[in-house]
Structure 1
Amino acid sequence: MADSVVPTFGRPWSALQPALSPAMLDAVSSLGFENMTPVQEATIPASLQNRDVVVEAATGSGKTLSFLIPLLELLHRKRTRLSHTEIGAIVISPTRELSRQIFTVLQELLKLTALPYTAHLVVGGSSSATNTADEMSVLKELGPDILVGTPGRLEDVLCGRLRNGKRLKSGMITASGGVRGRPRVSAAKLEVLVMDEADRLLDMGFEASLTAIFSVLPKQRRTGLFSATMSEALGQLVRTGLRNPVRVQVQVHDRSTAGSERRVPASLAIRYLVSPPDRKLAQILRLIQMGGPLKYIVYFSTCAAVDYFYRLLRRMLCPLPAIVPGGKRAMREERDRLREHFQGGSASVHSLHGQMVQSKRQATYESFSAIPPGELAILLCTDVASRGLDIPDVDYVIQWDPPTDPKSFAHRCGRTARAGRSGQALVFLSPGAEETYIDFLALRKIPMVPADYLWQDSEGAVTMEPPADAISLVEEESDLEESEDEADDAEEADDGGEKKRRRKRRARNQDQLSKYPADTRSDALLELIRGLAATDRDIYERGKLAFVSFVQSYSKHEASFIFRLKELPIIEVAKGFALLHLPSMPELCGRPVSRFIPYAIDTDTIPLLDSKRETHRLEKLEKAKLAPPVKVEKREKNNTDSWTDAKEAKDRARERKLKRIRRRDAVASVEEARLMQEIEDPKIREAMAKDPLLAKRMISRRDKSLRDMAEISASKNQSSRQTATRTLDDIIADAQSTKRKSESSSSEDEDSWEALARKEAIRKKLAAKAKGKGKKFTFNPGFSDEENSS
């Protein structure tokens, strides 16, 4: 038997009731799992008793075996006969990498147990219609019993490929000629449905695909939902798509803090580092140098940032003649300059994000997973690699910035410290409002401890003590701030105080940054990187794109009450991306751009290292210079407001509109009250008192007839007053006769205006109550509780 690959958590597998088959017991033993984890011990017995399960457990706790083992056991015990085109089980996951990982584990179990079932992986990503047709042909020829895949491609297989139409969120097809092809398999005899990372399936917008899949599945099936976090939409899915499910929630308690609950494994140490944004890269390199040859995963919020830092770190940590201009001599000189800032040796750098083609994504995932322990390897990725992936031997997870979705924080950190192993994680926070994120995560049961700021001495060695020549940033920036304040004071009177507010905000941000001594080694590293960007146009252009995409992502953060764009020290962020100059973007308006020193170079002269691309670029540039200037029409309005400023402007306009409406209503109320006082005839007052609905209608119209009544009522001419009275009686009589004609079939109680008013109020109340009961998430699982009860 193989050595146990995980520590002993719970009871042995042989203690399960109902018991597993001998073949399955031998298989898990061959895989090195002697004992169950808590989530396996709680979930597998409930699944084997034909119960639906909803499992919420920390990442890395063994959820994959928790649904694959009962899936195979249920198929084996049911002994359901499946034809060549019928399937018995489906496993749905949100990403292709996770689907492939689940499929690999399932294939291993099928091989070890020798069960007479076949599985097939169904994932999207193919941009070629020929490749897609070939995949469908393989599926038809194989006739699998179990499907593992992503929602979009599973929908094509189970429901038929959609042509000439669009899907709605309800799963239905629009009436504009949309038709489906023939389904490749039949799910009429499906026994088990598993949704892994179920909350992510809903967050990523797969509602339409899931609804379409559920519509073809049988009602009598076993369903399992597995996730490390529970969202509101997932709770709605539990209430509508499962029958009397068993809820399994495995909590982690920290013994060092009197048993406090955690949402992450106890063997995972999460640290945070509050530092100026322009020092993140230096801190990462120093951390890698001090940590030694380990496997690191660095998370970014955008694909553009991954591409930029991948090309940058690849040139810094593993320079090759093909990516360094000037030949081998220039490469040796560049290596010598880099050794002053990083002495960790050569490293293999990989990148992974959602905009990569599927073949490259798979090759990156496999190559990084295959790197053995003891080698320095770095994977730069987005949240596409944050859910469920079991990458072997990951030692450290670094988050360049917190995720836009706070639920992804625990999933990111969970790529290390899996199955009882130890691991470390680090997240960077900017000084100021972002420090509130620490308490925010503590409320979500994710504890963090502060990390030490790392320094570098003149010889390149990493230390935790600042050098003796470190000075405060306050002294460097004081003169500059005074000049900016004087300029703001001159414009403050014309700006309605907006300059003053910006100055206070900038002073507050700068005061937070001034707490940190200057790091001259970090500044020198950024200047070195700017020099590299000045020789490689690919790095230069991708750096600008990465910065802009970061600002856009930051402005759309779900925790916007913490990550406020106006509080972001955006100039320091631009320095951290080692930009040669600031791009033209509205978010820089009102910011102290004078603190950013542009790089002295004509950006048109920065070459591309690819000779063909460079030749094409120069030709295009030359044609642009020779072409006559294009006359640009002058815009009526120069919009330089940022996204957040534009939103605030809309809010202010909406508030002004509401004020105008309130002012108009107040004037109208005063006018109505005055008109009522001018009506002196007691008969008119008595008629309006008896008929409040009619009176309200007449007054709310505020038309000429009411003014005429008031003027006629106040007239001293008796004959005119009698005429006015007769006119009012005629009006009241006509209104009441119209009412009786329209409601001649009603009962006597409904003939009174008071009864009608009460009925109208009750109707509005019921309509408002029904409107409040509207569901925020609509999901059609293919059956309902009413159908089940019948």
Structure 2
Amino acid sequence: MEHVTEGSWESLPVPLHPRVLGALRELGFPCMTPVQSATIPLFMKNKDVAAEAVTGSGKTLAFVIPIVEILLRREEKLKKSQVGAIIITPTRELAVQIDEVLAHFTKPFPQFSQILWIGGRNPGEDVERFKAQGGNIVVATPGRLEDMFRRKADGLDLASCVKALDVLVLDEADRLLDMGFEASINTILEFLPKQRRTGLFSATQTQEVENLVRAGLRNPVRISVKEKGVAASSTQKTPSRLQNYYMVCKADEKFNQLVHFLRNRKQEKHLVFFSTCACVEYYGKALEALVKSVAIMCIHGKMKYKRNKIFMEFRKLQSGILVCTDVMARGIDIPEVNWVLQYDPPSNASAFVHRCGRTARIGHGGSALVFLLPMEESYINFLAINQKCPLQEMRLQKNTVDLLPKLKALGLADRAMFEKGMKAFVSFIQAYAKHECNLIFRLKDLDFASLARGFALLKMPKMPELRGKHFPEFVPVDINTDTIPFKDKIREKQRQKLLERKQQERTENEGRRKFIKNKAWSKQKAKKEKKKKMNEKRKRQEGSDVEDEDMEELLHDTRLLKKFKKGKITEEEFEKGLLTGGKRTSKLDLGALDLEGDS
């Protein structure tokens, strides 16, 4: 189904509850988006749906409203411990966001309880909360939900609680599978009743999603919604109100361009995407130091307990900068984001579209900018063809200030900053080497010297990718980096203790090695002397009267006999050789030597 027009909530064939309509008005949604007007009626008529729509098109309300309406229309009311609906989503942030939206619609209906199960929280506390408060609607990430099904030892029999399940929703289904949750999803599906309504929502339709549709949905209605003004032949995946730009600059110019851009737009709200957690940590600190009078926050996947708090705080800000990885690329709805800046292109093309989709959401305008190295410029054509995502060029900004010396000075002043820079550089190269589009993003074409200058490194790190390479265009600092202290006095004190302990161990090991070496040499000498004495003793015990000269003559005669037996010399030569050996063969009993076949 394509080009479904917007419509009023009152025009739905199945009328919505007055309190649901009231919640929609409070949230500021006077009419439906195309994906909502296409999906909600089908969902409410007991149909399974597989919906594909561009990011930012209002998919969350497309399943939240039917869930509330379906549970309201149940003949048998849900008990506290019965689960009527489950919403599964790939990230904690998206789960928190859905839970927040859902709360607006369950608030007028105290008979419904909802619960959020995500990573980064104590699972034992989640179990106790469910026992105490129930959870008619569960919003969860796949890993935590699977874990809850296995927690029978804690007194939770979730498999029994889901027997009354009416609705299952898989949100951002393509990302669920991208992130390796397929096994968890399959395990969860085994616990759920077959008689249910299932909704599968995604921005892109992949083969893995198609396989999931076949496995989890019964005769689904497929919905593919495009925005007005987009040609039927087009498969554009970004909102039409999104202005997409790219900027080509060298690796050692990129940071200066970013800072200049952000300094000139302090009153706006921005997301800045980096390829790795280490890059977020490093450049987040760098921006905090160099872009003043603006709130700067960082989020990445390795944060366990801070993520939810930071996410919620940033959503409330009128202006600010969120430095993040792709953990914030999918489904996250942050109000009024003006610019999405991609400092590093993502590892796969679909993530590019999802990053851009954090702005220009649900009818609003927005802009996105990706920074590219000169060798990466062909990525523009690739995105236009592969993702139907055309980009306009943005020229380099003029009058930028070179801030790399200041960034280098931060590393010299604080070991924490120096180490963050080294880790960021290493992680960037490792991520670059794994890029999905490796015909464009080729590690061998990277200008490592320019890249190291762009990271304001004090020296090149030791890593396999740089082994055997020389970088005359990169000049390391003329100091011993081991002497750079931590600004944090406690950390520096711990580091000094560690250095002392290592030095002590090194000294002890050197002494031990020296001692072992001397001992081994003396043992070797003693062994030789012992062998010599044993030989002399054996000779004495055997009573041998054969002198050295006689022994040499005996060996000479033996060699001649071997040659004669092998036919290498004649009998005449043999006899002559015995005579010239210095003594007659009377000393050698030739008959006693059985040398046949000796070789």
Count residues in correspondence. Answer: 507
Answering whether residue 134 of structure 2 is matched by residue 138 of structure 1, we say: no
Q: Aligned to 2:322, what secondary structure does the other structure show?
A: strand
Counterpart of 1:242 in structure 2 is 217
Q: Does the 8 Å CA contact 1:254/1:262 hold for their aligned counterparts?
A: no
- What amino acid maps onto 2:129 in structure 1? V
Q: Which residue of 2 aligns with 1:209?
A: 184
- Counterpart of 1:266? 240
Give the drift of 1:210.
1.2
Please tell me whether residue 577 in structure 1 is matched to residue 455 in structure 2.
yes
Identify the residue that residue 436 of structure 1 maps to in structure 2.
Answer: 378
Q: Give the % identical residues.
A: 45
Q: Identify the residue that residue 118 of structure 1 maps to in structure 2.
A: 113
Larger Rg: 2
Change (3 A) 1:71 1:303: same
For 1:153 and 1:602, how far apart are their aligned partners in 2? 47
2:4 maps to 1:30: no
Cα distance between partner residues in 2 of 1:68 and 1:94? 17
CA distance in 1, matches of 2:391, 2:232: 16
Per the TM alignment, residue 386 of structure 1 is displaced from its structure 2 partner at its CA by 1.0
Of 289, 292, 316, 1:370 maps to: 316
Equivalent-residue separation in structure 2 for 1:115 and 1:145 (angstroms): 11
Query: How far does residue 28 in structure 1 lie from its aligned partner after superposition?
Result: 1.5
Offset from partner CA, 1:332-387 (integer Å, 9 cap, x none)? xxxxxxxxxxxxxx1211100111122x1112112211112xx4x11111111111
The corresponding residue for 1:186 is 161
State the distance in 1 between where 2:279 and 2:70 align: 45
Q: 1:538 and 1:398, CA in 2 relative to 1: closer, same or farther beyond 3 A?
A: same
Partner of 2:140: 149
| Match of residue 397 from structure 2 | 454
Contact 1:263 1:445 in 2 (8 A): yes
- Residues 182/218 of structure 1: CA separation in 2 closer, same or farther (3 Å cut): closer
Cα distance in structure 1, aligned partners of 2:93 and 2:199 = 20
Aligned to 2:60: 64
Distance 1:238 1:596 in 2: 53
The separation in 1 between residues aligned to 2:234 and 2:178, in whole angstroms, is 29
Contact 2:262 2:291 survives alignment (8 Å): no
- Per the TM alignment, residue 317 of structure 1 is displaced from its structure 2 partner at its CA by 2.8
- Which residue is equivalent to 1:288? 262
- Matching of residues 553-632 of structure 1 within 5 Å: 553-589=431-467, 591-626=469-504, 627-628=506-507
Counterpart of 1:532 in structure 2 is 410
**Aligned equivalents of 1:597, 1:244: Cα separation in 2:** 65
Structure-2 change in CA distance of 1:270 and 1:160 (3 Å):
same
1:306–1:382 contact (8 Å) kept in structure 2: yes
In structure 2, list runs of 5 or more residues that go unmatched.
Answer: 514-599
- 1:91–1:193 Cα contact (<8 Å) kept: yes
Q: What is the CA-CA distance between 1:132 and the residue it aligns to?
A: 2.7
Any conservation in 2 of the 1:86–1:187 contact (CA below 8 Å)?
A: yes
Q: What is the Cα deviation at residue 303 of structure 1?
A: 0.5
Aligned to 1:384: 327
Are 2:423 and 1:545 equivalent residues in the alignment? yes
* 1:157 shift after superposition: 2.5
- Contiguous gaps of at least 5 residues in structure 1: 1-7, 164-179, 319-345, 457-461, 463-520, 634-790
Residues of 1 paired with 2:196 and 2:501: CA distance?
Answer: 66
Counterpart mapping for 1:149-168 below 5 A: 149-160=140-151
| SS of match in other structure, 1:262 | coil
Q: Secondary structure at the match of 2:253?
A: helix
Aligned residue for 2:200, secondary structure, equals strand
SS of the aligned residue for 2:297 comes to strand
Q: Of 219, 222, 228, which residue of structure 1 is paired with 2:197?
A: 222
Q: 1:258 to 1:159 in 2, by over 3 A?
A: closer
Q: How does 1:756-775 map to 2 (within 5 A)?
A: none
For the 8 Å contact 1:254–1:261, the answer to whether it is kept is no
Aligned to 2:81: 85
Residue in structure 2 matched with residue 42 of structure 1 by the alignment: 38
SS in structure 2 of the partner of residue 291 of structure 1? coil
Change (3 A) 1:630 1:437: farther
CA drift at 1:268: 0.8
Aligned to 2:353: 410
Matching residue's letter, 1:143: G
Aligned mates of 2:156, 2:38 — CA distance in 1: 42
Q: Kindly provide the CA deviation profile for residues 423-451 of structure 1, in whole angstroms up to 9, marking residues without a partner as x.
A: 1111111112x222111111211111111
1:270/1:426 contact within 8 Å kept: yes
Report the RMSD for the aligned CA atoms in angstroms: 2.3
Letter of the structure 2 residue corresponding to residue 245 of structure 1: P
Task: Report the TM-score, using the length of structure 1 for normalisation.
Answer: 0.62
The residue type equivalent to 1:32 in the other structure is G
SS at 2:413 equivalent: coil
CA distance in 2: counterparts of 1:134 and 1:590, whole angstroms: 53
Return closer, same or farther for 1:15/1:36 CA change in 2, 3 Å cut-off.
same
Residue in structure 1 matched with residue 544 of structure 2 by the alignment? none
Superposed displacement of residue 181, structure 1: 7.3
Deviation at 1:39, TM superposition (A): 0.6
CA contact (8 A) 1:158 1:187 kept: no
Conserved 8 A contact 2:412-2:418:
yes
Amino acid at match of 2:478: A
Residue 187 of structure 1 aligns to a residue whose secondary structure is helix
